[in-house]
Structure 1
């Protein structure tokens, strides 16, 4: 049992290291382009959502995109309304990693590692070597998944583990577990990835996997909330909007949990369970954006009222009525 747990932890650490390193390398390769794209293609809510989605797919991290957005909002380069659109788009973009994991590409990870190492050896310029690093980190990411997948297989026969996984069929218990795991490992992609692997191996039901996925969506808000510390009020509102958006979407989904599960199964058709879970991840975020986008003005007014801008001394002198 200890060997299985250590192997599982080893695969998880490798996956998390690859995710973090991959985001750093992609940002270094693209230089300041993500910031430029965010500033250029966010003129309205629709383009802000689309831009947030595309940049999250490129950077493979919704947290990175939202944190960059908070920085830009703090500096006054983006408005709070633009930031709300980017946040919603980032939630859609992060579901692409689930689709990739569900495609069972982990077994081909050595190919990516070989390509990456070859590029590192033959490339002379440092900038070109980063492309080799991209292949290596993608290979490490999928190899980490491959290790976890093989470590999970014997666990489903363990009665204690089986009982724990059975408890995930309760949507509330599963959501709390998913949120807690994400808070610890600081990666919703890893949490959802593990749920996909467990469902694939038959150790976790689809219902339990969807519940864990919902919790992961709440746990991922911790990164962005931390980014608002010492930020201005516009940045704080952006972080709070991310929390409110995710939390409200989760509550609605939990209230309509079984209809949502049936809807996902109907839309997915005859595909493996891990693909259905990946589809559930996408549909949850897409439908959340589709519903929320119509109420953005309401949430903007609400958060502006709860967290109003500070009135400066200069403004008070110009508007004496504010002193009263």
Structure 2
């Protein structure tokens, strides 16, 4: 197959995947946005509760970016204290690993059925809530259909020595970090970057170490949405965004240093499993350990950010 045809096939498959993610996230937010907002306000007063709230909320919305942006808006409106938001930020990093685990299940064969039921059901839906639930089903179907299409599109690359050599070179942590960060920055979805990496690993074209490097880079790239959301906000909201950025930078730097240990731990969790499944396990290990280590340091981080970026004095 010609190179341009492969590229177009991958782009089309990735577009389906991103469309599914957008549909899924939008429908889930519409189903429970007010409840989620109230839950965030009520459960964020203690660090451990805030962490668990971030995990649950992000898993429900299927988007850590959506949760972080919502937090920034709440802090900006003085509806949520800056210090209380930090634990939720850490929890959001754990919650986003749920999507990688679902992607690694590789249940793409069910995608056409989910799409058919979701789309056909919406034609006969009699209530808005029923339609939203069917939109969730449609989004899930599109996500898995897109992943199946990605896997089929990249299959011809197994016979391309230059591509295989480049994918192998991503085992060098810095190269993998840059690749993962840039892809996430362009497509604005760390889940899509990780989904693509999982499929390539499953195809045997990229080793687990390279996949972990790309995953770490995606953790940096996903901060772009946070920085955009902070633009023109209050100092407290900007401090929340900065905490997310600094936490990701520090944790990724440590992850890159310990990439061998992280890779070995992920492989040990599921010996004999596919490289894609082990990459999803590495995602869970990395984000969970990083968040749990950072949680006791939240009070000190909050005080440091307040000194670095104090509130504006009234004129």
TM-score range, shorter chain: over 0.9
Q: What do the CA deviations read for 1:252-298 (whole angstroms, capped 9, x no partner)?
A: 11112212222222233332221110000011000001111121122
2:266 aligned to 264, 267, 275, which one? 264
SS at match of 2:159: coil
Residue 84 (structure 1) shift: 0.6
Q: Which moved more, 1:95-104 or 1:123-132?
A: 123-132
Residue 179 (structure 1) shift: 0.3
Aligned-partner Cα distance in 1 for 2:117–2:265 = 41
Q: Which moved more, 1:174-183 or 1:252-261?
A: 252-261
Cα contact 1:102–1:196 (8 A) shared by 2 = yes
SS at match of 1:156: helix
Aligned-partner Cα distance in 2 for 1:126–1:296 = 41
User: Which residue matches 2:215?
Assistant: 213
Alignment of 1:51-66 (within 5 A): 51-66=53-68
User: Which residue matches 2:184?
Assistant: 182
Residue 185 (structure 1) shift: 0.4
User: Which residue matches 2:45?
Assistant: 43
Cα contact 2:58–2:92 (8 A) shared by 1 = yes
Aligned-partner Cα distance in 1 for 2:271–2:300 = 37
Residue 7 (structure 1) shift: 1.0
Cα contact 1:119–1:131 (8 A) shared by 2 = no
Cα contact 2:212–2:259 (8 A) shared by 1 = no
User: Which residue matches 1:316?
Assistant: none
2:239 aligned to 237, 253, 260, which one? 237
Aligned residues: 313
SS at match of 1:32: helix
Alignment of 1:1-324 (within 5 A): 1-313=3-315
Aligned-partner Cα distance in 2 for 1:30–1:64 = 13
Aligned-partner Cα distance in 2 for 1:46–1:153 = 44
Aligned-partner Cα distance in 2 for 1:257–1:114 = 42
TM-score, normalised via structure 1 length:
0.94
Q: Segments of 4+ in structure 1 off by > 4 A? A: none
Residues 113 and 92 (structure 1), Cα distance of their counterparts in 2 relative to 1, 3 Å cut: same
Aligned-partner Cα distance in 1 for 2:261–2:27 = 41
Aligned-partner Cα distance in 1 for 2:266–2:41 = 35
Provide structure 2 residue ranges, at least 5 long, that are not aligned to the other structure.
none
SS at match of 2:151: helix
Provide structure 1 residue ranges, at least 5 long, that are not aligned to the other structure.
314-324
TM-score, normalised via structure 2 length:
0.97
Aligned Cα root-mean-square deviation (Å): 1.1
Aligned-partner Cα distance in 2 for 1:31–1:211 = 34
Aligned-partner Cα distance in 2 for 1:148–1:170 = 24
Aligned-partner Cα distance in 1 for 2:218–2:184 = 6
Aligned-partner Cα distance in 1 for 2:82–2:33 = 24
Cα contact 2:265–2:282 (8 A) shared by 1 = no
Aligned-partner Cα distance in 2 for 1:51–1:114 = 34
Q: What do the CA deviations read for 1:59-99 (whole angstroms, capped 9, x no partner)?
A: 10000001000000011111111111011000000001100
Residue 117 (structure 1) shift: 2.2
Residue 122 (structure 1) shift: 2.4
Q: What do the CA deviations read for 1:217-247 (whole angstroms, capped 9, x no partner)?
A: 0000000111000100010000000001111
Name the larger-Rg structure.
Answer: 1
